[in-house]
């Protein structure tokens, strides 16, 4: 029997969610979407949980959409609904009332990078690679990244990263303010647990209310941004450049874009 795509453990008032497809770099695949949504729904209903940690099994945190899995083949859905359907379960993290820590144990690229951005706090592996590489694939960003990244770092920094599709180290992520901390690879989860314990020791109602106040004061609405991005992403996915970009990724070569 295949092991579950998403693992969950709860101890000391902290829920740990582990993406468990290490052989596929924890990519977002059809078999992961529903289980992840179910886990988040359970977390939202559990009033005893005071903090959540999301991490990955193996050497990757999450490599984004699994293009080999047929995840974009959603039957009779509109193209934008298919694109948004990939990210919808992960965007429900935004509905969790307690703090959520991304223990980014390894590489987080594309939608996987966005998964880290929708969390409240990010712990990076200083040696791992992170980034929104969509421009290198010929497609528009998803997972509300174009909304989140400039608000987490700065507009000029986000512009450079989005327009180049550049990836960067965990150390650089911390220097840019994208990650709260960049630590040794084997210290990522322990650092996340340390922070979770510190949060869990605080008054739970006060923490929940402060999280709500923090984002309300920012007029925070990544979900709506994600829906708009899904439309733009679906349009670019119809283009020849997207087919070339994905093919180049799978064939491990440089893409040759023609602007069509």
Does 238 have pLDDT greater than 80? yes
pLDDT recorded at residue 73? 59
Report the run of H or E that residue 51 belongs to, with start and end. Answer: strand 51-56
Q: So where are the chain's domains?
A: 6-185
Q: Tell me what the mean pLDDT of segment 185-198 comes to.
A: 98
Q: Tell me what the mean pLDDT of segment 199-210 comes to.
A: 98
Return d(Cα 14, Cα 117) in angstroms, integer: 20
Query: What is the tens place of the pLDDT at every residue in 145-184?
Result: 999 999 999 999 999 999 999 999 999 999 999 999 999 9
Does 85 have pLDDT greater than 90? no
Where residue 1 falls among pLDDT bands split at 50, 70, 90?
low
Q: Tell me what the mean pLDDT of segment 129-134 comes to.
A: 97
> Which of 80-84, 133-137, 168-172, 189-193 is least confident?
80-84
Where residue 259 falls among pLDDT bands split at 50, 70, 90?
very high
Give, as one character, the DSSP assignment of residue 28: B
Return d(Cα 85, Cα 103) in angstroms, integer: 24
Q: Tell me what the mean pLDDT of segment 17-28 comes to.
A: 95
Query: What is the tens place of the pLDDT at every residue in 28-43?
Result: 988 899 999 999 999 9
Q: Tell me what the mean pLDDT of segment 101-120 comes to.
A: 97
Query: What is the tens place of the pLDDT at every residue in 239-258?
Result: 999 999 989 988 999 999 99
pLDDT recorded at residue 183? 98
Report the run of H or E that residue 256 belongs to, with start and end. Answer: none
Q: Tell me what the mean pLDDT of segment 191-207 comes to.
A: 98
Mean pLDDT rounded to a whole number for the chain: 94
Q: Tell me what the mean pLDDT of segment 119-138 comes to.
A: 97
Query: What is the tens place of the pLDDT at every residue in 45-60?
Result: 999 999 999 999 999 9
Instruction: Please count the residues of the chain.
Output: 260
Say if CB 44 and CB 95 are below 8 A apart: yes
pLDDT recorded at residue 204? 98
Say if CB 9 and CB 15 are below 8 A apart: yes
Report the run of H or E that residue 207 belongs to, with start and end. Answer: helix 204-217
Q: Tell me what the mean pLDDT of segment 88-108 comes to.
A: 97
Pairing of strands 6-11, 14-19: antiparallel
pLDDT recorded at residue 18? 98
pLDDT recorded at residue 79? 74
Q: Tell me what the mean pLDDT of segment 116-133 comes to.
A: 98
Burial of 256 from C-beta contacts in 10 A (0-12 / 13-18 / 19+): exposed
Q: Which CATH superfamily is domain 6-185 in?
A: 2-enoyl-CoA Hydratase; Chain A, domain 1 (3.90.226.10)
Return d(Cα 84, Cα 144) in angstroms, integer: 10
Q: Determine phi and psi for 177, rounding to 5 degrees.
A: 80, 5
Return d(Cα 173, Cα 180) in angstroms, integer: 8
Compute how many other C-beta atoms are within 10 angstroms of the C-beta atom of residue 147.
Answer: 22
Where residue 74 falls among pLDDT bands split at 50, 70, 90?
low
Question: Which is nearest to 168 in space by CA: 134, 143, 203, 133?
Answer: 133
């Amino acid at each position: 029997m295949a092991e579950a795509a998403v693992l969950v453990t709860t101890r000391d008032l902290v829920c740990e969610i582990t993406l468990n497809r290490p052989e596929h770099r924890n990519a977002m695949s059809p078999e992961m979407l529903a289980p992840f949504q179910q886990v988040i729904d359970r977390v939202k209903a559990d009033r005893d949980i005071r903090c959540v940690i999301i991490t990955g099994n193996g050497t990757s945190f999450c490599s984004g959409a699994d293009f080999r899995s047929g995840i974009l083949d959603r039957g009779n859905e509109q193209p934008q609904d298919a694109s948004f359907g990939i990210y919808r379960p992960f965007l429900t993290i935004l509905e969790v009332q307690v703090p959520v820590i991304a223990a980014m144990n390894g590489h987080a690229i594309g939608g996987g990078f966005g998964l880290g951005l929708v969390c409240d706090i990010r712990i990076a592996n200083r040696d791992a690679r992170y980034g929104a590489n969509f421009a290198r694939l010929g497609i528009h960003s998803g997972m509300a990244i174009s909304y989140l990244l400039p608000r987490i770092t700065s507009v000029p920094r986000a512009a450079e990263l989005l327009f180049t599709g550049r990836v960067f180290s965990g150390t650089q992520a911390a220097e840019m303010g994208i990650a709260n901390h960049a630590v040794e690879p084997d210290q990522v989860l322990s650092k996340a647990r340390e922070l979770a314990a510190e949060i869990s020791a605080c008054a739970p109602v006060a923490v929940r209310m402060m999280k709500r106040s923090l984002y309300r004061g920012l007029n925070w609405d990544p979900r709506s941004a994600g829906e708009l991005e899904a439309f733009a992403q679906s349009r670019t996915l119809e283009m020849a450049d997207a087919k070339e970009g994905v093919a180049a990724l799978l064939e491990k070569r440089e893409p040759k874009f023609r602007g069509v």
